[in-house]
Each structure stands twice: as C-alpha cells, then as structure tokens.
Amino acid sequence: MNENENASGNSTEEFIGLEDFTASAADQRLHLEMLSDIPRTETYRQVIVSNSAALRRKVVMDLGCGTGIISLFCGRLAQPAAVYAVEASSVAEHTERLVKLNGCQGVVTVFRSRAETLELPSKVDVLVSEWMGNCLLFEFMVESVLCARDCWLKEGGMMWPSSASLSLVPCQAHADYTQKMEFWESLYGLDFSCLQSVALKEFFSKPKFSHELAPEDCLSTPCDVITLDMHTVQVSDLEKLTGEFWFSIERPGTFHAFSAWFVTQFNSLDGGGTTLELNTGPHSEPTHWKQTLFMLDAPVTLEEGDCIGGSICLHRNPVWRRHMSITIEWRIKRT
C-alpha cells in the first residue's frame, strides 16, 4: 500500500481453488488444527449446551461437518430428533466411524455430499456450520452454506452462526517491518538497500495470514467494516462487499498496517437466551485463524488524535470463484 496525506492503496490475495479445497478438507492435519483450537470448538459446544432444551425434537444440519464434532455435541448433549452430518470429502468415512464409536448412530446420519447436490429426508430446523476462513470469507464456503439454507432450512429456522462481521484496525508491526525491510539497510557491513523495493513487492504485496497481533499494537479501537446476517444475505451479495471506516488514533505510534479478523454471533434458539460470540481478534483468546495483516508500503508516524478514514472492498473473482481481491483505500487527517 502507498501512503500520503490523501492516499489510497490496495492489496490482493489469491485463494486456492475448489479441487484443492475439497482435497484439503480430508487432510488430517487440518482437523488436528481445528479440533485443537479450544476457543473455536468450545464456542460451538457452548452453543449446543445453552440451547439443549430448545433443540429437543429439532432436526439439525451440520454442513461441512468434518470429523463431526458439532454433530456429536448435538447427539450427546441435546435430544434432537435427527442430526444430518454433511461432508463432501473422504473424511466422511471416518465421521461415520466416530458416530458409531460415540453411540450417536441413532440420531446422527452422515451424508457424503456437496451442498449443491445434497438430498435429505426432510428440511431442518437448525443449520450449523463452521464455514469461516481468514478475513472471514477465505475459500467462500459461505456460498455452500447459503445454498443449503435456501434449499433445506425451514421457514423461521435458525442459522449458527447467525451473523458474522469483519473487523479492522490500524496497527503497528515493527517486527515484520524490521525483519523484511530494515534488514537490507546494513548487511555484514555492506549496503543492500537497493533490494528493499524487491522485498517490498515480494513480502508486502499480499496479506499475511496467521499474524499474531499484540493488543498493544492496535493504534485505535477496532470497528466492524462488513457484517453478514446469515438469515438474509444472498449468494449474489458475495460478489462485492464494501464497508467504510473512521479511526481516531488513541496513542502515538507507527502505522505499519491494517489488521483484520472476524467475529461471529450465535443467537439463542428460543429467542430469550444469551447470544454467544466467537471473536478471533487480538483481545480474545487466540484461535487458529489468528489475524490477517495488510502492510503499507512505508510506515507512517501518527500522533494521538490523528484520524484515518477510508473504505474496504472484498471483490469476488468472476472466474476463480474461491478467489477474491481486497482493496483498502484510506487517508489521514492530521490534528
């Protein structure tokens, strides 16, 4: 990203394709990572526990169920009429074994199918899925969730998550900048600074996933720039999602980057309970998603009271449907 007093910048990231996405879903390392993510898995367990009474005699679909952990939570911790565990990859074979091993075969049925070709015995009262990715929409599994919702969710049924937001904050990233840019200034007593422009293009032209942002590196209070209501958002809405932001700098610091993460909310099934939340930001317990970092071309010194305003656009690739471009335009207003 380039910066000046009225600057704009952009950052683009290409995502893996559908074939790779389906194959990777069967990778046991992926499931080890997800099941080891306690905040993620415990949030879903708490959603089931807190709604256990309301789930009685309900029909639940767990879309993209993987090893079936959410389906097993439903089967063991609530008393639903049925749970349809839907998984497109070959891990579904293991899911069937896990269902039997945990004594849930009378409630949980595994369907090896993509959402777009899914055939179920009935419509469902609840559609639960862990579809989120880095920067919320990574790989666009959300499209499959919306297709399943439109085909199989009963009128008035519940979506878990019920809503999802992309959060953004201007931040410092001293370690990344020092490691990848300042490194070239004096190397073994020699001047390698001419390679900084090469390093800039290679390291900072795309977002950095799995960044661990320290809370003290946030230069402002984060804000939600894009929010999806999972009951009403349409597949066509995913083509281009935009949002605006206005940050007031709360302490002096060096503006190296924007950082993004997502927050999801799970509404109570009976409407009277507490809404649960999964927050993947730096002020919450770390998850395997961590945060996404969008580095500027050059750092900017900011003072308390300075403001950063602008917009963000997530634009889906018209050909490679699991890919998207992310554009951030911004400007600084000095105090």
Task: Record the pTM.
Answer: 0.88
Torsions phi, psi of 144, nearest 5?
-65, -35
Query: 25, 47 in Cβ contact below 8 A?
Result: no
The per-residue pLDDT for range 47-63, each reduced to its tens digit, is: 999 999 999 999 999 99
Closest CA to 145 of 128, 122, 166, 125: 128
Torsions phi, psi of 41, nearest 5?
-70, -40
Q: Say whether pLDDT at 11 is over 70.
A: no
Catalogue all structural domains in the chain, each as residue range(s) with its CATH number.
Answer: 11-333 (2.70.160.11)
Rounded to 5 degrees, what angle do the CA atoms 47, 214, 305 make?
110
Helix (H) or strand (E) holding 255: strand 253-266
Q: Say whether pLDDT at 116 is over 80.
A: yes
- Residue 7: its pLDDT value, please? 39
- Residue 205: its pLDDT value, please? 81
Determine the Cα–Cα distance for residues 333 and 252; give it in Å rounded to an integer: 14
Banded model confidence at residue 229, pLDDT cuts 50, 70, 90: very high
Q: What is the mean pLDDT of the chain?
A: 90
Rounded to 5 degrees, what angle do the CA atoms 139, 323, 43 make?
25
Query: 124, 138 in Cβ contact below 8 A?
Result: no
Query: 200, 181 in Cβ contact below 8 A?
Result: yes
Q: Which residues are catalytic?
A: 130, 139
